[in-house]
């Protein structure tokens, strides 16, 4: 065999080997990618939220957004803002005043009079047919308070 032929064969083997390696690695990466995709898909299935149960489209709790408990005010009237179940009977009671209304929407906003000093206010929400009301207690101070 001529020297040139030998060199050509060696180079051929080398290139062939390299080509083989490239091909096999490509398959390996492809299969890895496939596995990864599979895992990801499974994870996604696990992470996706469970189907939300359809509940009645109204809140079943009593929330008072305003005023904050233990607030000091310098007016004899306060706005009470909150949320209560629709159609519930809302009674707001303090030692000096009371207010009653049927909650037409979820949110409500009412003006409530205050007496001078500490005002214990309890907000009740009665659902028809349920004797135990939802309730929230507030203490609001109506004072001429200078900072």
Partner 1 sequence: MKKIKQSITVLFIFLFSFSLVGFKRIHSQQSTASSSAQEEKKIDQLKEKIASKVAEIQNENNFGVSGYIDNIKNNLISINNDIGETYQIKTDEVITNYYQVINNRRQEIEPNEIQKGDFIIATGIIDGNQVEANNIYKDENFLIQTGQVIEINKDEYWIKVNTLEKEAVILDIETYTKKFLLNIKDYQFESVGFSKIKEGDSTIFVIKKTNNKQINRASAIKMIIIPQEFFLK
The site for partner 1 (CB under 8 A) is made up of: 68, 70-74, 89, 91, 93-95, 98, 100-102, 115-118, 120-122, 124, 126, 128-133, 135, 137, 139, 141, 143-147
Instruction: State in angstroms the smallest separation of the CB of 43 from partner 1.
Output: 45
What CA–CA distance (Å, rounded) separates 25 from 29? 6
Residue whose C-alpha is closest to residue 71's, from 59, 61, 81, 84: 81
Instruction: State in angstroms the smallest separation of the CB of 126 from partner 1.
Output: 7
Instruction: State in angstroms the smallest separation of the CB of 62 from partner 1.
Output: 13
Return the number of the residue (35 or 66) whose C-beta is nearest partner 1.
Answer: 66
At a CB cut-off of 8 Å and minimum separation 6, what does 108 contact? 80, 81, 82, 83, 84, 90, 101
At a CB cut-off of 8 Å and minimum separation 6, what does 97 contact? 112, 113, 115
Return the number of the residue (59 or 124) whose C-beta is nearest partner 1.
Answer: 124
Instruction: State in angstroms the smallest separation of the CB of 65 from partner 1.
Output: 13
Return the number of the residue (94 or 108) whose C-beta is nearest partner 1.
Answer: 94
Return the number of the residue (46 or 132) whose C-beta is nearest partner 1.
Answer: 132
What CA–CA distance (Å, rounded) separates 126 from 93? 13
């Amino acid at each position: 065999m001529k020297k040139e032929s030998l060199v050509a064969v060696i180079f051929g083997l080398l290139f062939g080997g390299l080509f083989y390696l490239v091909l096999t690695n490509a398959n390996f990466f492809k299969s890895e990618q496939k596995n990864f995709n599979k895992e990801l898909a499974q994870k996604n299935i696990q992470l996706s939220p469970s189907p939300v149960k359809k509940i009645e489209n109204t809140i079943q709790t009593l929330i008072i957004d305003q005023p904050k408990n233990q607030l000091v005010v310098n007016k004899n009237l306060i706005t009470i803002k909150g949320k209560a179940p629709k159609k519930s009977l809302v009674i707001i009671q303090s030692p000096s005043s009371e207010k009653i209304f049927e909650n037409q929407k979820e949110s409500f906003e009412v003006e409530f009079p205050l007496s001078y000093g500490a005002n214990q206010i309890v907000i009740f929400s009665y659902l028809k047919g349920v004797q135990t009301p939802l309730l929230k207690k507030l203490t609001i101070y109506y004072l001429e308070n200078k900072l």
